[in-house]
Amino acid sequence: MFSKRSIRRNFLIQLIFASALLILIFSSFLYFYIEKSIYDEKRHELIQYAKNIANNKSIMQMDSSSPDSYLALNIEIIYLKKSHVDVDLYENSIDKRIYLTLIYPFDLDTLSYLKITKEITPTKVLLDKILHYIFFINIIGFVLVIIYAVMLSKMLVSPLKILSSRLSNMNEHLIKQIKVRELPDEFEPLGVTINHLIARIQNFVKYQKELFIGTAHELKTPLAIIKLKNQVTLLKRRTPEEYIEALLVTNKTIDEMNIIVSNILNIGRQEGAQLDKPTTVDVIEVLKQKANDFKLLAENEGKTLNISFEPNGFMATLQVSLLNQIVQNFLQNALKFTPQDRSVTLKSSQDNVGLLIEVIDEGCGIDDSVDLFAPFKRQGNKSGVGLGLFLAKSAADALGAKIKVENRKDGVDGTIASLQLNSKLSCILPRNN
């Protein structure tokens, strides 16, 4: 019914074992307590008889409302060879009848002792019945515990079965978010995680469709240009210079197609990089290396790259290639759209979420109504295929980070591209004083 790795099976075994052990211990304590209480009462009775006789009192002077306590009572005086001051009480069996015997000092000068014997067979029978009743109740309780454990385990795994059923009925065309409020509190974090994964799948499917459509469109246009140019060229005889010009146009169009193909190949490489084993690195050091690479490029273009990194160190477990790709895309776009004699800023800061990485430029800004992360979306009149931010968004999703591009709000034209790293997968290095 259950495999060895089943949580429900392990839960059932542990609950049944613990309940059975608890019932056994409780029943044992209960029976021994009842037995001890009855024997203590019998011992007290016999000692009281002995005291009354030793003090020359009648045993009838005992506080007893019923003469039944005197039945099967045998009293005699015995003599021992040596003095024995302590009271001795023992149990023996004769002809399947149980007797309780008390030896009590009577006259120590003559070494005489009272030997009071009382039959306790009915008491023993009563104790046996109590033991049988307790055993019978334990069996019933154990069966009820098994039934309760099965029902409880079924109730605990029912949310998982519901989640599994809903997920199994989904496909790439019918993906719906799970209603987290309908789940028990203990399963709410799991529901939130699954919804996050579903959102990523929805975005992936959406962008993949746009990528296929965009790729076909982007490749179709240059192919049409090449064909049209060749058809026009073949309409009549032309000079060698005109043929050379037609070939140059064709080569230029082929180069544009190669750029598109290269970017599409980069998407495949990035998806492979997402499967790389994460390593623990200092993100601040990675940013410093990337800043050094782009500083010379910015100077050659007559621009300035400013840097500001806080804190001094920030350790994170992630794929470094994906982080490099995001930061590189931010810096490339910032330098592309920033005019000469203007500056680009690469900065990092600590916030409540983790580490915030920002690239701030002084370019023309963006159109907020356009989904910049969709494939083949371009801004401005600069050259490019429009896959950079699409790749950056995909890389950020793989890192469990958030990416955002927005216009500056400080009165200066330009954009702010930001990457928010989650501190759950990282830690802040101590500052160097």
Q: Which two tokens stand for residue 252?
A: 């230029």
Q: Are residues 316 and 399 in the same domain?
A: yes
Q: Are residues 225 and 301 in the same domain?
A: no
What tens digit of pLDDT does each residue of 225-266 get?
778 777 877 777 878 887 788 888 788 778 777 777 776 666
CA-CA distance, 179 to 181, in Å (whole number)?
A: 6
Neighbour tally for 357: CB within 10 Å:
25
| CATH code at position 110 | 3.30.450
Tell me if 33 is assigned to some domain: yes
Q: Are residues 214 and 283 in the same domain?
A: no
pLDDT for 359: 92
Handedness of CA 378, 379, 384, 387 (dihedral sign): negative
Tell me if 157 is assigned to some domain: no
The separation between CA 304 and the C-alpha centre of its own chain, rounded to angstroms, equals 46
Tell me if 159 is assigned to some domain: no
Residue 218 has pLDDT above 80, yes or no: no
Neighbour tally for 330: CB within 10 Å:
29
Q: Residue 42's pLDDT band (boundaries 50, 70, 90)?
A: confident
Residue 176 has pLDDT above 80, yes or no: no
Tell me if 90 is assigned to some domain: yes
CA-CA distance, 13 to 281, in Å (whole number)?
A: 44
What tens digit of pLDDT does each residue of 62-108 get?
444 444 444 567 888 888 777 666 678 888 888 888 888 888 888 77
Q: Which two tokens stand for residue 10?
A: 């392990």
Q: What is the 3-state secondary structure (H, E, C) of 274-300?
A: CCCCCEEEEHHHHHHHHHHHHHHHHHH
pLDDT for 266: 65
Q: Are residues 211 and 310 in the same domain?
A: no
Q: Which two tokens stand for residue 192?
A: 């939130």
Sheet with 415-422, side-by-side order of all strands: 304-309, 343-350, 354-360, 415-422, 402-407
| Overall domain count for the chain | 3
End-to-end, the C-alpha distance of the chain in Å comes to 62
Q: Give the domain extent around 33.
A: 7-144
Q: Are residues 123 and 187 in the same domain?
A: no
Q: Are residues 175 and 268 in the same domain?
A: yes
Q: Are residues 228 and 325 in the same domain?
A: no
The SS3 assignment for 88 reads strand
Which tops the pLDDT comparison, 167 or 94?
Answer: 94
The SS3 assignment for 433 reads coil
Residue 420 has pLDDT above 80, yes or no: yes
pLDDT for 430: 46
The structure's pTM equals 0.49
What tens digit of pLDDT does each residue of 119-160 get?
888 888 888 899 899 889 888 888 888 888 888 878 877 777
Last residue of one domain, picked from the residues 126, 144, 162: 144
Strand partners for 104: 114
Q: Are residues 129 and 64 in the same domain?
A: yes
Q: Are residues 232 and 353 in the same domain?
A: no
